């Protein structure tokens, strides 16, 4: 009887461990590029700094929780972004093997505003380009570069591009640390 109980406990623990490891999904291994968002899986807390007119950066009283996961098809990636001020957004990303880019649909839930953008690996870093800003109507484009530091820490540098400046200007630094 002890051997039988031990086997049952082993299978229960194995099943629970498998669920924990896959809470945020995993990429389909048949398409290696799908693993490009592995670093983003999990629950994260972010803090943000904004560039001031004098060129220095000031830490904002702004915290956000980000959750990133592969959906059940293991080919689609979703992130959710919520702030301490009640903002919520989400995006769904799929990899296009022809263009070698991730295509995303972004929803600002409160404003009921949809927009599209693309991401791809540039110089070893996930780089996202959002034409017209997140509303699609801004007078600037946005570029976000994710710099992975460790398995539990990455940075997002957010740049704006305007026709007046003709160059990407770093405007936000986001420090992202894993919670779970």
What DSSP string describes 28-97? -TTSGGGGGGGGG-EEEEEEEEEE-TTS-EEEEEEEEEEEEEE-TTSSEEEEEEEETTS-EEEEEEEEET
Domain limits, the chain: 2-178
**pTM of the prediction?**
0.83
91-127: pLDDT as tens digits: 999 999 999 999 999 998 777 889 999 999 999 999 9
Which CATH topology does 2-178 take? Lipocalin (2.40.128)
H-assigned helices in 93-164: none
35-74: pLDDT as tens digits: 999 999 999 999 999 999 999 999 998 889 999 999 999 9
């Amino acid at each position: 009887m002890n051997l039988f109980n031990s086997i049952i406990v082993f299978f229960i623990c194995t099943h629970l461990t498998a669920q924990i490891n896959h809470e945020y999904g995993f990429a389909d291994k048949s398409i290696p590029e799908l693993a490009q968002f592995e670093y983003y899986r999990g629950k994260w807390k972010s803090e943000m700094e904004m560039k001031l007119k004098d060129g220095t950066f000031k830490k904002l009283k702004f915290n956000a929780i980000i959750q990133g996961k592969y959906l059940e098809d293991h080919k689609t990636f979703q992130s959710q972004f919520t702030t301490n001020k009640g903002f919520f957004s989400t995006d769904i990303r799929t990899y296009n093997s022809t263009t070698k880019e991730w295509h995303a649909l972004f929803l600002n839930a409160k404003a009921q505003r949809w927009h599209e953008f693309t991401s791809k690996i540039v110089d070893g870093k996930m780089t996202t380009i959002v034409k017209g800003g997140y509303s699609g109507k801004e007078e600037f484009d946005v570029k976000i570069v994710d710099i992975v530091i460790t398995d539990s820490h990455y940075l997002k540098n957010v740049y704006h591009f305007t026709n007046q400046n003709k160059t990407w200007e770093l405007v936000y630094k986001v420090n992202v640390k894993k919670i779970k």
